Structure 1
Amino acid sequence: MSGTDRVRAHAALWYADARYRLAWLVLPQAAVALAAGLALAVLKPTGGWGKPADSKEDEKLYHELLDKAGKDGDKAAFDKLKAGADAGNISARSFLGTLYNPEWASLYPKSPVKADAAKALTYYQQPADLGYPGAQRGMTELLLNRGRGQYDLKRGCRYGLAFYGNPAAIRDNHFDSWSTLFWIAGCYIDSDSGVPRDAQKAADIYMDTVAAKLPLSVTTFTDDLGRQPPDLVAAIQHNLARRGFYSGPADGSATPQTLAAVRALAGKAAGTGGGNTGRPAGNTPPAPPSGPKPTVEELIALAKSATTNAADEAKLRDLAEGGTMVAQYLYAQLLSPTNTVQRITAPDAARAIQYFERLAREASFAPAATSAAFLYDIGAPNLPRDPEKAADMTIRALELKDADILKNIEEDKWGTGFWAALQQRLAQRNLYQGRILDQRNDRTVQAARSLLGKQ
C-alpha cells in the first residue's frame, strides 16, 4: 500500500469521523496509519486494488473527455465521463464536477448539461475528501462564494485550507484560480469560520491576489480598505513593506500611504514584488475574454438571461471582473437585494456595493451612485445600514446629474438618519440653510435641486 494511498485514506477519515481525528491526536501514528490502511480497503474508489485513484492515465483520459464534452459538445464523451464517475473513478468524478460547476461554465460553452452547483458538490466531495486538489478547489469556490446558493463557511474553509496546504496543488500548479485564494484568505479573518484567526496569513494571501490584479481583491483593498479590521490592515502593511511598497508604520490605519501602496502593488504583474509566500511564481490571472466587446444591448440581453441561466450569469460575471463597466453595473444589479426579480443568483450586497461605489467614484457612472445610495439606506444581512454612506452616494449622484435620485429625494421613503446626513453635506456646500433635522423639508429638496443643476 503506497504512502499516497494512506494519506488519502487518512484524509477521508479525517473529514468524515470526529473519533478518527481524536485518535490521530492521542494514539501513536503507526496505529492510526493501520486504521487508515483498513479504511482504504472499504473506501477504495476503483476496481483495481492498489491502483491510485487519480493515476496519470485516468487523469489524462478523463480530462480529454471533459474538454470534448464541454468545449465540443461531444455527447459520447460526456457519457463516458459520467460512466466513469458513476463507477467511482476519482478523476472522472472530479472532472464531471467541473462540468457542472457554474464557476467554470464559461470555459465549457457547449456542455450537454446545465451548470448546477449542488450536483457539482456531489461529484466533487469524494475526490476532495481523498486529497484530489482540483476537487478541493471546486468545493472551496462553491462553498465560500455567497453568490452561489451553497454557502457553508465552516465546510468551505475546511476544504479551502486542505487545498491551500496540498502539496499536489502546488506541484500541479492549481493556484491559478485567484478568486479561490481570495475566499480562503477570509477563513483566517472570519470568526465564524472555525479557523484560528491569523491576520498575517490572510494578508499574505490577499496581497497575492491584489498583485495578480483580481478585480474583487483590488476593489476590496482600495475602495474598502478603511472598513477592514485594524489587525488585518496592520498585517497588510507588513506584507507591503516586505514587498518594498510601503515604508510607514504598521499601525492598522488605512492611511493614504497604505492605500497608495496597495494601488501600486495592483499595478505590478503577478509573481513580482518580493513577498515569499511559498506559492509558485509565474501564475497569472485569467485573461479577459477575447474578441469584440459586446454592445450595451447585448450586455442588457445577457443580464436578463443571467437571471435564469447559470452559464450566462458566469459570462456576465467574467465580463464584470474583466473590467467592462456596463457589465459591472448589470452584475451588481443582479447581486443587489434591492433587485426583486426572481433569479438564480443569491443576493450579495457586499459585492454589489463594491461595484456600485467603484463605478460611481472612479468611472463617474451616475446610476451606480444612485443604486449605492438606495442599498446603503436599506442595508442587508452582509451590509450594515449606513445613512452616512447613503447620503455620500446621494451627493455623488447629484453631482453626476442623475435625475432619478432627485425623484427619490422628492419623496419621503428614506430611513432614519438619512435626511440629517444629507442636510449636513448640503450645508457644507453652502446649499442648505437652517436647522439640521432628520426629516424631509422643502429646503433640503431645493438644495438638492441646486446641486443637480435644476435650479
Structure 2
Amino acid sequence: MSGATIGTDRLRAHATLWYADARYRLAWLVLPQAAVALLAGLALALLKPAGEWGKPADSKENEKLYLDLLDKAGKDGDRAAFEKLRTAAEAGDVSARSFMGALYNPEWAAVYAKNPVKPDAAKALTYYQKPADLGFPGAQRGMTELLLDPARGQHDLKRGCRYGLAFQANPVAARNNYLDSWSTLYWIAGCYTDAASGVSRDPQKAADLYMDTVAAKLPRAVTAFTDELGRQPPDLVAAIQRDLAKRGFYTGPADGTATPQTRAAVQALAGRGAGPQGNAGAGSAGAGNTGAGNPGAGNPGAAKPAGPPPPAPPAATPSVEELIALSKSAVSNAADAAKLRGLAESGVPVAQYLYAAMHLSPANKEQRVTAPDGPLAARYLERLAVERSFAPAAASAAFLYDLGGAGLQRDPAKAADLTIRALELKSNEILQNLEQDQWGAGFWAALQQRLADRNLYQGRVVDQRNDRTIQAARRLLGNP
C-alpha cells in the first residue's frame, strides 16, 4: 500500500472518529500521541482548493459569455439575452447567478438603464448568495451593499458584515480592483464601529477605510466626516485624526474632539480645501468612484486615495506544502514557530489554521516549544471563520468551545454561535456531527434559541437534540 493511500486512510479514520465520538475529539486536544503530521494532512485536505479561491474552477469557461449576456440585457434591453442568462442562473451556474444579481441590484440601475426587469433587492440577494458563498467578489460586494444599506429594505447588519469582511479579504477582489468600490468600503468600515455587527470593534481600521472613501470623494463619506463629524464617537474621531496626520493633512492632537481643524483636514483630503498641513506641495486626491462600473471587472477607473507612497510588495506567500512542512518543524523549532506565527498574524489563511492546530496537538511533550493553548487556537479559528468565511474553522471552533480543554473554558453559547456560522458557510460536516448528538450540556438549548431567532426553529427550547432542531439546521444549511 502506498504512503499516499495510508495517509488518506488515516485521514478518513480520523474524520470518522472526530465526528462520531466526542471522547476522541477530547483526546485529540489533550493526549501527547496526537500526530502533527496527521493534522497537517487534514489541513491540506480541507484547505487546498480545486480552483483559485474567489474564482471557482467550474465557472471560468462561461463567465465571459454570461458577462456579454448581462451587457446585452441590461444596456441594450435584449430580452432574449436576459432569458438565456436567467435560464443558466436557474440551472445553477454561479457566474450567471452573480450577473443576474447585478441586473436586479438597485445599485446598478443607472448602469443597466434598459434592464428588462425592475430592480428588486430581495431577488438580487437570492441570486447573489450562492456565488458570494463560493467567493465571487462581485456577488460578495452586492450582498454587502444590499444588506448594510438601510435604504434598500434588506438590512441585516451581522450578515452584511460577514460578507463585507469576506469581500475585503478576497484576493481576487484586490487583484481586479473591486476594492475601489468606495461605497462598499464605506459600509464595511461601519462594521468595525457598531457593536451589534459581530465584528471586533476597531476604530482605527474603520477610520482608515472611511478616510480612503473621503479621499475618493464619496459624497456620503465627505458629509459624514465634515458636516456630521461631531456626531461620531470620540474614539473614531481620534482615529480619524491619526489617519489624517499620517497622510500629512493634520497636525493637531488626536484627542477625539471634532475641531474646525479636523474638519478642514477632512475637507482638504476630499479636495475641497487647502492642501496637506505642513506639506504645501502635496496635491489633493483625484476624482472618485462610488462603485459604478462593470460588476465582473471591478472599477479600474477609480482614483486612489491620497496618502504616503505604497509599501514595498510583500514577500511571496509559501505554498500549502511549504506551510505544512513549516508547521511540522515549528512544533520543536522556535524559529519556525515564530515564522509560522508571523504568517498567521499577517493573515495567511492556511498558516492561521495550522498555527491554531499546532496549539491543539501536543505531539511529543519533551520536544515541543509551544504549550497547548486552547484560547489562542480558538482566536485563530474564529478569525478564519469570520474574516475568511472558512467553514472547517467554524466547525473546529464549535467543537473546541463545546469540549473545552487546553486552557479554554467550555462555552456552549459560543459553540452554538460557531455552529450557526458553520451552517451558514454550508458545512455538511457540522450537520453530520449534529446528527450524531455528541454535544455537551447547554449546547442544544443555545442552538435552538439561535435557530428560533432566525425563524427556523419552532417549539419549546429544550436542552436536547430533536428532529425540529436538525430540520432547522438543514434549512439554514440550504439542504432541507
Instruction: State the TM-score, normalizing by the size of structure 2.
Output: 0.48
**Compared with structure 1, are the counterparts of its residues 97 and 205 closer, same or farther at alpha carbon in structure 2 (3 Å cutoff)?**
same
Question: Which of 162, 166, 171 in structure 1 is aligned with 2:170?
Answer: 166
> One-letter code of the match for 2:59?
D
RMSD (CA atoms): 3.1
What is residue 88 of structure 1 aligned with on the other side?
92
Question: Which of 214, 221, 239 in structure 2 is aligned with 1:217?
Answer: 221
What is residue 349 of structure 1 aligned with on the other side?
none
**Compared with structure 1, are the counterparts of its residues 169 and 286 closer, same or farther at alpha carbon in structure 2 (3 Å cutoff)?**
same
Q: Write the deviation string for residues 174-220 of structure 1: whole angstroms up to 9, x where unpaired.
A: 12321111100000000000000011110000001101111100000
**Compared with structure 1, are the counterparts of its residues 125 and 72 closer, same or farther at alpha carbon in structure 2 (3 Å cutoff)?**
same
What is residue 267 of structure 1 aligned with on the other side?
271
Alpha-carbon distance in structure 1 between the residues aligned to 2:95 and 2:213:
28
Q: Write the deviation string for residues 213-267 of structure 1: whole angstroms up to 9, x where unpaired.
A: 1110000001111111111001100110011100011111111111110011111
Alignment of 1:347-358 (within 5 A): none
What is residue 207 of structure 1 aligned with on the other side?
211
Whether contact under 8 Å (1:211, 1:268) holds in the other structure is no
Counterpart check, 1:104 vs 2:115: no
Question: Which of 74, 78, 83 in structure 2 is aligned with 1:74?
Answer: 78
Whether contact under 8 Å (1:142, 1:151) holds in the other structure is yes
Alpha-carbon distance in structure 2 between the residues aligned to 1:112 and 1:92:
16
Q: Is there any run of 5+ residues in structure 1 with no aligned partner, and where?
A: 1-22, 42-49, 274-280, 289-455
Whether contact under 8 Å (1:175, 1:283) holds in the other structure is no
Alpha-carbon distance in structure 2 between the residues aligned to 1:237 and 1:244:
10
Alpha-carbon distance in structure 1 between the residues aligned to 2:135 and 2:272:
33
**Compared with structure 1, are the counterparts of its residues 78 and 283 closer, same or farther at alpha carbon in structure 2 (3 Å cutoff)?**
farther
Q: Write the deviation string for residues 2-38 of structure 1: whole angstroms up to 9, x where unpaired.
A: xxxxxxxxxxxxxxxxxxxxx9xx893532443567x
**Compared with structure 1, are the counterparts of its residues 254 and 58 closer, same or farther at alpha carbon in structure 2 (3 Å cutoff)?**
same
Alignment of 1:276-355 (within 5 A): 284-286=288-290
Whether contact under 8 Å (2:244, 2:266) holds in the other structure is yes
- The percent of aligned pairs where both chains have the same amino acid is 67
**Compared with structure 1, are the counterparts of its residues 260 and 134 closer, same or farther at alpha carbon in structure 2 (3 Å cutoff)?**
same
What is residue 41 of structure 2 aligned with on the other side?
30
Offset, 1:76: 1.1
Question: Which of 35, 45, 67 in structure 2 is aligned with 1:63?
Answer: 67
What is residue 191 of structure 1 aligned with on the other side?
195
What is residue 441 of structure 2 aligned with on the other side?
none
Give the SS at the match of 1:175. helix
Moved over 3 A (4+): 26-30, 281-284
Q: Write the deviation string for residues 364-419 of structure 1: whole angstroms up to 9, x where unpaired.
A: xxxxxxxxxxxxxxxxxxxxxxxxxxxxxxxxxxxxxxxxxxxxxxxxxxxxxxxx
Alpha-carbon distance in structure 2 between the residues aligned to 1:230 and 1:53:
48
> One-letter code of the match for 2:149?
N
Alpha-carbon distance in structure 2 between the residues aligned to 1:73 and 1:242:
48
**Compared with structure 1, are the counterparts of its residues 110 and 169 closer, same or farther at alpha carbon in structure 2 (3 Å cutoff)?**
same
**Compared with structure 1, are the counterparts of its residues 196 and 287 closer, same or farther at alpha carbon in structure 2 (3 Å cutoff)?**
closer
> One-letter code of the match for 1:137?
R
Whether contact under 8 Å (2:77, 2:116) holds in the other structure is yes
What is residue 334 of structure 1 aligned with on the other side?
none
Question: Which of 42, 58, 65 in structure 2 is aligned with 1:53?
Answer: 58
Offset, 1:283: 8.3
**Compared with structure 1, are the counterparts of its residues 227 and 128 closer, same or farther at alpha carbon in structure 2 (3 Å cutoff)?**
same
Offset, 1:284: 3.2
Alpha-carbon distance in structure 1 between the residues aligned to 2:152 and 2:56:
35
**Compared with structure 1, are the counterparts of its residues 134 and 51 closer, same or farther at alpha carbon in structure 2 (3 Å cutoff)?**
closer
Q: Is there any run of 5+ residues in structure 2 with no aligned partner, and where?
A: 1-24, 30-37, 278-284, 293-480
Whether contact under 8 Å (2:234, 2:257) holds in the other structure is yes
Instruction: State the TM-score, normalizing by the size of structure 1.
Output: 0.50
Alpha-carbon distance in structure 1 between the residues aligned to 2:193 and 2:39:
33
Whether contact under 8 Å (2:56, 2:134) holds in the other structure is no
Alignment of 1:113-192 (within 5 A): 113-192=117-196
Q: Write the deviation string for residues 106-157 of structure 1: whole angstroms up to 9, x where unpaired.
A: 1111111111111111110111011110000000000000011110000000
Alpha-carbon distance in structure 2 between the residues aligned to 1:268 and 1:147:
27
Offset, 1:103: 1.0
**Compared with structure 1, are the counterparts of its residues 203 and 286 closer, same or farther at alpha carbon in structure 2 (3 Å cutoff)?**
closer
**Compared with structure 1, are the counterparts of its residues 51 and 149 closer, same or farther at alpha carbon in structure 2 (3 Å cutoff)?**
closer
Whether contact under 8 Å (2:189, 2:207) holds in the other structure is yes
Alpha-carbon distance in structure 2 between the residues aligned to 1:124 and 1:233:
35
Alpha-carbon distance in structure 2 between the residues aligned to 1:87 and 1:165:
29
Alpha-carbon distance in structure 2 between the residues aligned to 1:283 and 1:164:
22
Give the SS at the match of 2:199. coil
Whether contact under 8 Å (1:75, 1:112) holds in the other structure is yes
Alpha-carbon distance in structure 2 between the residues aligned to 1:233 and 1:169:
29
